[in-house]
Amino acid sequence: MRPTLWLRRSLGVSTLRRGIWDDNPIYRQILGICSALAVTNLLVNTAVMSAGLVFVTAMSSFTVSCLRTVTPKRVRMMAQVLIIASYVIVVDIAIKAYLPAISEALGPYVGLIITNCIIMGRCEGFAAKNPPVLSFLDGLGCGIGYGLVLLTIAFFRELLGFGTLFGAPVLPDGFTRWVIMVMPPGAFFMLGLVMWLLRTVQKPRSPAEGG
């Protein structure tokens, strides 16, 4: 029994690891870019958004996987979207109730988790074929991978754009704020640079992939 158990555990670890590093949704699969750009001007917003996304990815992957044998192929997409939407409603209501200010700042982007391709991609590409616990881990890994990249981007955007981190001023008063960092172009530049850097560090694969 022991080898199988070990095998299973290592499978779980590699599934998690794949989402966070090897096949990171943002810079490898190029999924979920919209919110990566929109919510990263402040670290607080990013953290809340990432937490919401981790919850939704993990739970919807789990649910889709549980229902994978009883879902007819034709309505598969629809069923997945409905499952995802239900979890997003939970997150949306929770954020509205406990963090009204952040809910205001995030605007429609919480609702847009539904159409975040990471979740759809993982449900379709992984959860529809794999058992529930593994799918849960896969969703969790991808969610965390997404959150880490987002926090990195938000760190630099908030630091350079506002001179603050989590709202607390850290740079000296004389620092000229890079206003462009908190404006839309700054988001694009920052994400482009992060992708460049991480893809340089990682073993380069075929350049055509993903884009």
Partner 1 sequence: METPGPFTIFLASIFINNILLANFLGMCSFIAVSREIKTALGLGTAVIFVMTLTSGINYFVYTLLLEPLGLEYLRFIAFIVVIAATVQLVEMIIERVSPVLYYALGIFLPLITVNCAILGVSLFLVIREYSFLQSLAYGAGGGAGWALAILAMAGLRQKMKRSRVHPALQGPAITMILTGIMALAFIGFSGMVPM
Least distance to partner 1 from the beta carbon of 12, Å? Answer: 28
- The answer to whether the CB of 103 falls within 8 A of the CB of 112 is no
Q: Does 193 bind partner 1 (CB under 8 A)?
A: yes
For partner 1, the closer of residues 69 and 200 by Cβ is: 200
Least distance to partner 1 from the beta carbon of 160, Å? Answer: 15
The token pair at 65 is: 């996987």
Instruction: Give the x-and-dash track for 84-123 against partner 1 (CB under 8 A).
Output: -xx-xx--xx-------------xx--xx-xxxx--x---
Q: Does 179 bind partner 1 (CB under 8 A)?
A: no
Q: Does 195 bind partner 1 (CB under 8 A)?
A: yes
The count of other CB atoms within 10 Å of the CB of residue 4 is: 8
Under DSSP, the state recorded for 85 is H
For partner 1, the closer of residues 42 and 191 by Cβ is: 191
The token pair at 185 is: 């172009």
The count of other CB atoms within 10 Å of the CB of residue 211 is: 6
Q: What is the rounded CA–CA span in Å between residue 145 and residue 127?
A: 17
- The answer to whether the CB of 187 falls within 8 A of the CB of 158 is no
Q: Name residues contacting partner 1, limited to 21-60 (CB under 8 A).
A: 27, 30-35, 37-38
AA identity, residue 65: S
For partner 1, the closer of residues 79 and 134 by Cβ is: 79
Size of the site for partner 1 (CB under 8 A): 50
Least distance to partner 1 from the beta carbon of 92, Å? Answer: 7
* Measured CA distances, 135 to 58, 65, 122, 123 (Å): 8, 7, 8, 8
Task: Specify the stretch interacting with partner 1 by CB under 8 A; choose among 9-17, 54-62, 144-152, 180-188.
Answer: 180-188
Sole residue written with tokens 């001179």: 163
Query: At 165, which helix (H) or strand (E)?
Result: strand 164-165
Residue ranges that bind partner 1, judged by CB under 8 A: 27, 30-35, 37-38, 77-78, 81-82, 85-86, 88-89, 92-93, 107-108, 111-112, 114-117, 120, 180, 183-189, 191-193, 195-197, 199-200, 204, 207-211
